[in-house]
């Protein structure tokens, strides 16, 4: 009896979703080749060292880490032999302009007591809010995060019909701010939970209230510190992909996806041509169409959606220790509404931005020299619309230094031993994220979930999509889920012809 040659898959981009897709396909028997324009894997999720300080370059809040475990288990391996993490006892420390500090304890009772002590609001308000967040996630999470919502069959399941029957409960028709104002009442608590809109680059004053399910992911399911920092996830995925037989082509930029008779047949790169039975793009969906599929009809309504926010990051090696800080720290602005008006309406940066500091040395002391800390200082900024970024960087740096110095009670500037800056132009140049937006399209629309590009193409056979710019959205957990959705669709499409 004859043997069958494995079918060949090309994955464009080695971000989290690209590597997860490659692993899943390899485990199904595909010959997988990943093409990456950079010299390293991970996309936004990489690391660098500077003068003895280690920095995670990109994402920093880790939830749903078991999605990586799942890949190891599929490969028949024990995740703990390769990928380790610990649950955090503190979710985040929150600092307000009036001097109020709220510690977001992972222990619900401690958090509720903290809220009651600092705001006078009964802890039961928080308990009911987190219970509501959990119920919304249980109702809609499987449909909107784990299934393809671009297939009619998804909405004919028992889970889908149950969610549809309880549609008003899901807070889709109200903004996150309206939902939080009604349920939490106190402005400090509203601001704390409004912040979750920024986790996918949106505004709480426009984005739908169903984003309150993110609170469930953090406060009910937990946040985690990954051994090796967030880059530990990239390292784990890359090593697993190699073990599964995936071939990586670094420093090889894909220039075109070949399409013949409405079927993806391979790619052209800076170094040559490659045939393939399927192509999975982990590249931002906009440049995928505009650059790699030039000449093919593009889904204009999807591609022209409002961009999500980008980020400005000051990587600072700090020559001192700050006991009041933890791994995650948020310093709120005095006028949150104005901050988002600047981001989405005037496309600029307020002089009083909310500041996030990630400080991995708190959990991994080797990330900085003794008596020092490695600060990943991030603020949300608009996508790149051609602003004078050099001027914005200079002004914002001074505003951030002034604000942190005032709140922390120490002059920060002389403590900075080394510095690197990331801003939208660099984000776009390094990762092909359109206009530097780090989550693709914003969710500033009640139908945003349905407007995201599907994980497959209806027009071009054999073309699939995974990553933060497509369904189910941005953020590391959703990228991992997008890989699962895309490869499950591939499995169905090739059920009778896949490798044996």
The pLDDT, as a whole number, for residue 495 is 83
Least confident of 20-34, 54-68, 142-156, 441-455: 142-156
Tally of helices (H runs) and strands (E runs) in the chain: 16, 19
As given in the structure block, the two tokens for residue 381 are 């900024």
The pLDDT, as a whole number, for residue 172 is 86
The alpha carbon torsion through 439, 442, 446, 449 (nearest 10 deg) reads -30
The pLDDT, as a whole number, for residue 446 is 81
Domain 8-45+62-85+227-305+445-493 architecture: 3-Layer(bba) Sandwich (3.50)
**CA 137, CA 57: separation in Å to the nearest integer?**
30
Closest residue by Cα to residue 454 from 475, 439, 471: 471
Q: What mean pLDDT do residues 58-75 have?
A: 93
Kindly report, residue by residue over 399-423, the tens digit of the pLDDT.
999 999 999 999 999 999 999 999 9
Q: What mean pLDDT do residues 438-449 have?
A: 88
Flag whether pLDDT at 98 surpasses 60: yes
Kindly report, residue by residue over 159-171, the tens digit of the pLDDT.
666 666 666 777 8
pLDDT band at 451 (very low <50, low <70, confident <90, very high): confident
Question: Is pTM, for the whole model, over 0.85?
Answer: yes
The pLDDT, as a whole number, for residue 149 is 67
The pLDDT, as a whole number, for residue 431 is 93
Q: What mean pLDDT do residues 466-489 have?
A: 94
Mean pLDDT of the chain: 93
Please report, for the chain, the start and end positions of each structural domain, with discontinuous segments joined by +: 8-45+62-85+227-305+445-493, 116-222, 309-438
The pLDDT, as a whole number, for residue 2 is 38
**CA 116, CA 385: separation in Å to the nearest integer?**
43
Percentage of the chain modeled with pLDDT above 90: 87
Find the length of the chain. 500
Flag whether pLDDT at 390 surpasses 60: yes
The alpha carbon torsion through 47, 330, 477, 112 (nearest 10 deg) reads 140
Flag whether pLDDT at 424 surpasses 90: yes
Flag whether pLDDT at 234 surpasses 90: yes
Flag whether pLDDT at 369 surpasses 60: yes
Q: What mean pLDDT do residues 253-280 have?
A: 97
Q: What mean pLDDT do residues 479-485 have?
A: 96
DSSP assignment of 193-240: HHGGGGGGT--TTTSBGGGGHHHIIIIIS--EEETTSTHHHHHHHHHH
**CA 459, CA 457: separation in Å to the nearest integer?**
5
């Amino acid at each position: 009896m004859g043997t069958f040659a494995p079918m060949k898959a090309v994955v464009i981009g080695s971000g989290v979703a690209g590597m997860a897709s490659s692993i899943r396909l390899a485990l199904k028997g595909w010959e997988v080749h990943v093409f990456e324009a950079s010299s390293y894997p991970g996309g936004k999720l990489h690391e660098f060292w500077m003068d003895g300080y280690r920095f995670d370059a990109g994402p920093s809040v880790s939830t749903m880490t078991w999605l990586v475990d799942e890949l190891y288990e599929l490969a028949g391996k024990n995740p703990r032999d390769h990928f380790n993490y610990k649950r955090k006892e503190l979710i985040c420390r929150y600092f307000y302009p009036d001097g109020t500090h709220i510690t977001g304890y992972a222990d619900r009772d401690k958090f509720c007591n903290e809220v009651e002590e600092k705001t006078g609001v009964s802890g039961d308000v928080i308990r009911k809010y987190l219970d509501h967040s959990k119920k919304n996630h249980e109702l809609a999470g499987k449909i909107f995060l784990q299934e393809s919502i671009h297939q009619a069959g998804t909405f004919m399941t028992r889970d889908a019909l149950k969610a549809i029957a309880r549609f008003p409960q899901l807070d889709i028709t109200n903004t996150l701010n309206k939902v939080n104002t009604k349920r939490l009442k106190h402005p400090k608590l509203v601001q704390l939970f409004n912040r979750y809109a920024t986790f996918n680059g949106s505004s709480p004053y426009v984005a739908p209230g169903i984003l309150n399910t993110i609170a469930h992911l953090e406060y009910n399911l937990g946040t985690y510190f990954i051994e090796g920092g967030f880059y530990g996830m990239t390292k784990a995925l890359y090593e697993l992909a190699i073990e599964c037989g995936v071939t990586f082509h670094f420093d090889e930029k894909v220039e075109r996806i070949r399409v013949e008779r409405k079927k993806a047949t391979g790619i052209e790169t800076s170094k040559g041509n490659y045939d393939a039975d399927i192509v999975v793009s982990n590249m931002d969906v906009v440049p995928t169409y505009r650059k790699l599929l030039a000449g093919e009809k593009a889904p204009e309504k999807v591609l022209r959606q409002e961009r999500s926010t980008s980020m400005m990051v000051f990587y600072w090696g700090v020559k001192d220790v700050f006991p009041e800080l933890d791994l995650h720290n948020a310093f709120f602005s005095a006028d949150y509404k104005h901050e988002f008006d600047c981001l989405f309406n005037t496309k600029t940066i307020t002089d009083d931005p909310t500041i996030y500091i990630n400080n991995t040395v708190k959990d991994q002391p080797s990330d900085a020299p003794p008596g020092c800390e490695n600060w990943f200082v991030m603020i949300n900024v608009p996508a790149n619309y051609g602003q004078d970024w050099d001027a914005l960087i200079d002004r914002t740096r001074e505003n951030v230094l002034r604000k942190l110095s005032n709140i922390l009670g120490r002059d920060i500037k002389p403590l900075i031993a080394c510095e690197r800056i990331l801003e939208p132009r660099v984000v776009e140049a390094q990762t092909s994220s359109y206009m530097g937006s780090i989550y693709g399209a914003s969710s500033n629309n009640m139908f945003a979930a349905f407007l995201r590009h599907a994980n497959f193409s209806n027009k071009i056979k054999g073309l699939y999509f995974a990553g933060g710019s497509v369904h189910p959205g941005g953020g590391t957990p959703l990228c991992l889920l997008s890989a699962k959705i895309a490869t499950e669709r591939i499995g169905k499409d090739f059920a009778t012809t896949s490798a044996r």
